[in-house]
Amino acid sequence: MDILAGIPQLIVYGIISGSILALGGVGLSLTYSILGFANFAHGDLMALGAYIALGLLALFGGLGVLNNPIGPLSFGLGLVLAFLIALVLTAIAAILIDKMIYKPLRRSGPVIVMISSIGVAIALRNILLFFWGPQPWYYIEKIQISMKVPWLLGVRIKPDELFIIATAITLVILLHLFLTRTRMGKAMRATADNMELARVTGINTERVILWTWGIGALLAAAGGILAGIENKFITPELGWQMLLSIFAAVILGGIGSPYGAIVGGMVIGLSEEISTAFISTGYKPAVAFAIMIIMLLVKPTGLFGEKS
């Protein structure tokens, strides 16, 4: 009975973690379906975003007023600004990486591009390691006390964590609007469905690819920064540690379905957290992996996947 009492709190943690995984997953799912390869450097794009935000935050450090906490949150406008700028800079970085490395390799086939992405992943991670070192860096110095929410089974949640969930929801809504209301968004969905048909229709698939990297990296960076807010600190391993869970989320949801990735992210996040009630926390990533393997054996196209 004691185990079950802790479950509502674990569900809260699962939703927070799931939101972050969902953001990472959507970006990965988009690039996977449109570019046609599993980008093993995606986690490190998340880390890159987190560190760019860190750097910008340090820059704003001189402007003290930006550090004043906003309301109940533990951080100020500085981090919000850093967040927005980091998103754009990470998107630019991803586009450059594609232009210099992935694009020339595309003619050699998706397998080669995938192998190269491991090289990109390791290089990115170690560039971060070079500049910032392996020790944890903190976005926020203060410790925040979690509030109790009596009408929700007495679970505890911090204002920062509400911010994380709210931000994730906002980004997902914005993405949804983009994919369903804008011309480029629909073109992206069309290209994810069938790239050759998209070309036949006259869609400029090269442009679609640029937008895909931009949006994928943007969401990845957001996920990385939110992870930094949740964990309070960041290390260069941040992205790689989440990568397996993110892949599980994408495969669970079905490659090419951004909505599937969101559902997948939440399922994986919840499963991982709830599993800690029953098995050692040391095996959390293995839970995601087990779910992924089961999905691959039962329905490889995922819950929402379409492609045969």
Yes or no: say if 147 and 158 are a contact pair by the CB < 8 Å rule: yes
Q: How far is the CB of 126 from another protein (least distance, A)?
A: 4
Closer to another protein by Cβ: residue 192 or 229: 192
Q: How far is the CB of 207 from another protein (least distance, A)?
A: 11
Q: How far is the CB of 55 from another protein (least distance, A)?
A: 17
Yes or no: say if 44 and 239 are a contact pair by the CB < 8 Å rule: yes
Closer to another protein by Cβ: residue 2 or 196: 196
Closer to another protein by Cβ: residue 107 or 141: 107
How far is residue 296's CA from residue 303's CA, in Å, rounded to a whole number?
A: 11
Residues in the site for another protein, rule: CB under 8 A?
37-38, 40, 101, 104-105, 108, 110-112, 114-116, 118-123, 126-127, 129-130, 133-134, 183, 186-187, 189-190, 192-194, 196-205, 240, 243-244, 247-248, 251, 256-257, 280, 282-283, 285-286, 289, 292-293, 296-297, 300, 306
Q: How far is the CB of 74 from another protein (least distance, A)?
A: 29
Number of other residues whose CB lies within 10 A of the CB of residue 9: 17
Yes or no: say if 279 and 3 are a contact pair by the CB < 8 Å rule: no
Closer to another protein by Cβ: residue 153 or 197: 197
Yes or no: say if 304 and 253 are a contact pair by the CB < 8 Å rule: yes
Q: How far is the CB of 122 from another protein (least distance, A)?
A: 4
Closer to another protein by Cβ: residue 208 or 229: 208
Closer to another protein by Cβ: residue 96 or 111: 111
One-letter-per-residue 3-state SS of 35-68: HCCCCCCHHHHHHHHHHHHHHHHHHHCCCHHHHC
How far is residue 276's CA from residue 3's CA, in Å, rounded to a whole number?
A: 10
**In the chain, which ranges are continuous DSSP H helix?**
2-5, 7-35, 42-60, 77-97, 103-105, 110-132, 159-181, 183-193, 195-201, 205-231, 238-253, 258-275, 284-298
Q: How far is the CB of 82 from another protein (least distance, A)?
A: 24
